[in-house]
Amino acid sequence: MAEEFSTMRNIAACFFSSAVNHADSRAVGISGEDAYLDYRHLLRKVKECSAHLGKLASGQRVGLLAENRPEWGKAYLAILASGGIVVPIDALLKQNEFQNIIEQAGITKLIVSHSFIDTAEEINKSLEYKIEIIDLENIPESDVSDYQPNFVTDPHNTAVLIFTSGTTGNAKKVILTHENILSDIDSLLDIVNFQEGDRFLSVLPLHHTFEATLGFLIPLLNGCAVYYIRELNSREIMTGFQKNKITHFVSVPLIYEKLYQGILGAVKKAPPTKRALFSISRKATGAIYSLTGKNAGTQLFKSLRKKAGLENLKLFVSGGAPLPMEVNKGLNLLGIKLLEGYGLTETSPVLTCNRPDKIKFGTVGLPVKNVKIKIDQPDDNGVGEVLAKGPMITPGYQDNPEATEELFRDGWMCTGDLGSIDSEGFLTIKGRAKNLIVSAAGKNIYPEEIESELLNSEYILEAMVYAHQASNGREEVGAMIFPDLELIAGKINKKPEEVIEDDVKEVIQSEIRHICSKMAGYKRIKHITFTQEELQKTSTRKIKRYLY
């Protein structure tokens, strides 16, 4: 049976094969709890959910809205086993954003956890057509002895449809095929050898392609176990490492920064002799690494890692945002293997990654297998736009031929990121050519989406959203506003010439608070500046962002 599925380039079929081969191995569980599902029982749950969905028509889109939990993966795999397309939805969005995704995707069935049942039913009342709402936690048990999957046989069929934003009618819908995702997994397995019995701790939102590929599909297609935490905080993560004997962890730079600072903070509280020993060992490790390239920290800091609950750890992987070199190097030289990589939702997502046996700090590594990277129109320093080719790259955006055309140039995908490649082939990302803002937690924030909402206010004539550099060096959402002084004057019963700066701030800030209340928290505007002049534009009326 496993052999029958393993030859298919279909994500669900690959899971079925893995589940048969690793039937008695631990598959999924909640961090800190004794109960778990082995692969035999997880496969049964997937089949029950798939049977409940029924045989789906080719191209039928099923929404998945739930917090991180073992049932999320069950639903994802069941949708694919039934022949459908998964539309993962960010659980942090607001009701109007959920509805917009449902309408744009043409979702006919929506699988939700208990906490979203009421929201889903409210949305259903306002839709022009009715959708079937399925309670993720109440899928009935059934006899699956005669169950027949409905796998799509063409690997180039769409597996997942991912929205780049939720609140506007201009959201891009990224198509990822079975072949896209499986080819990226193949490339990563060429770098890291995962084994039955390896254990992953999952903390990132599962709707995010980074987590879905590396923290969900890779372990379950290779007989590993995945544990989910109840709450995203440092204590839960560290407890998860200790109690579950975690071997692999995929996360964003912010988590690694907190981990590193936590270790250094604990050392500061240690007795003077231990602090001195740590300082000497650290300097020695750095010197040995600089001279020989060998990491003495693997042995020197063995007891420190054990005390931190990291004695079973084999690998950390970082992505989603730039990783500070100090944190990367610092953790690696403590004997904690941390690999930084690079990619996009449109690339399933990994394009490049450092190797366990060859890490170059400050870079995002070498292209993974079957990926080609080149720099377009490099300047005198070798910096230009990063272009990519490979089987993991999306065929384009659903229902948006213009955006799809813009994504490609002479057969290469345009990442919109600026970078350079050194003599050894390592890629360094210098910045973004696109307007995308990436939070420290790895959340993608699209300025145009927020601008569209701001311009719905009658008191705002123009708005430009950008990445504001906060005092701690992180990127936050900033907005430059050109206000309508006449309407503001009318609102506060003053003449336009009588309006002072505090009046403008009071009205606009009130408007922005109202607008932000309808957005996911990570999209909210943290910094506002005002301009008394119309923003400068190109001949096609696009704001010249680079001037600001």
Rounded to whole angstroms, the Cα distance separating 185 from 179 reads 10
Yes or no: say if 159 and 184 are a contact pair by the CB < 8 Å rule.
Answer: no
User: 100: closest CA among 172, 170, 174, 167?
Assistant: 167
Handedness of CA 276, 259, 419, 341 (dihedral sign): positive
| CA neighbor of 79 nearest in space, from 64, 99, 101 | 64
Angle between helices 253-268 and 325-332 (to 10 degrees): 60
With cut-offs at 50, 70 and 90, classify the pLDDT of residue 165.
low
pLDDT in tens, 26-39: 999 999 898 999 99
What pLDDT, in 10s, does the model give residues 449-487? 888 889 889 899 999 999 988 877 778 899 999 999 999
Per-residue model confidence (pLDDT) at position 1: 42
SS3 315: strand
The tokens describing 494, both together, are: 């003053």
User: Residue written as tokens 């997502």?
Assistant: 349
Question: What three-state secondary structure class fits 190?
Answer: coil
Angle, vertex CA 425, rays to CA 419 and CA 429, nearest 5: 20
pLDDT above 80: residue 207? yes
Residue 179 phi/psi, 5° resolution? -65, -40
DSSP 34-72: S-EEEHHHHHHHHHHHHHHH-SPPTT-EEEEE--SSHHH
Dihedral of alpha carbons 436, 438, 444, 449, sign: negative
Mean pLDDT calculated for residue range 7-14: 92
List, in order, residues 6 or more apart from 449 with CB less than 8 Å away.
Answer: 165, 166, 167, 168, 170, 171, 523
User: How far apart, in Å, are the Cα atoms of 113 and each of 109, 138, 263?
Assistant: 13, 9, 36
Among 117, 115, 159, residue whose Cα is nearest residue 134: 117
Contact 348, 390 (CB under 8 A): no
Instruction: Please tell me the predicted confidence (pLDDT) of residue 439.
Output: 81
Percent of the residues in the chain that have a pLDDT greater than 90, as a whole number: 78
Segment 115-129 mean pLDDT: 97
Contact, 507 vs 492, CB < 8 A? yes
- Is residue 65 predicted with pLDDT exceeding 70? yes
DSSP SS3 for 172: coil
Which of 263, 258, 259 minimizes the C-alpha distance to 278? Answer: 263
Instruction: For each of the domains in the chain, give its residue range(s) and CATH number, in order of start.
Output: 2-180 (3.40.50.12780), 446-547 (3.30.300.30)
Q: What angle do CA 306, 240, 254 make, to 5 degrees?
A: 90
Q: Are 206 and 77 in contact (CB under 8 A)?
A: no
The band of 539, judged by pLDDT with boundaries at 50, 70 and 90, is: very low
Q: Model's pTM, two decimal places?
A: 0.85
Instruction: Specify the DSSP element, H or E, that contains 30.
Output: strand 26-30
The pLDDT tens digits for 401-435 are 999 999 999 999 999 998 999 999 999 998 766 67
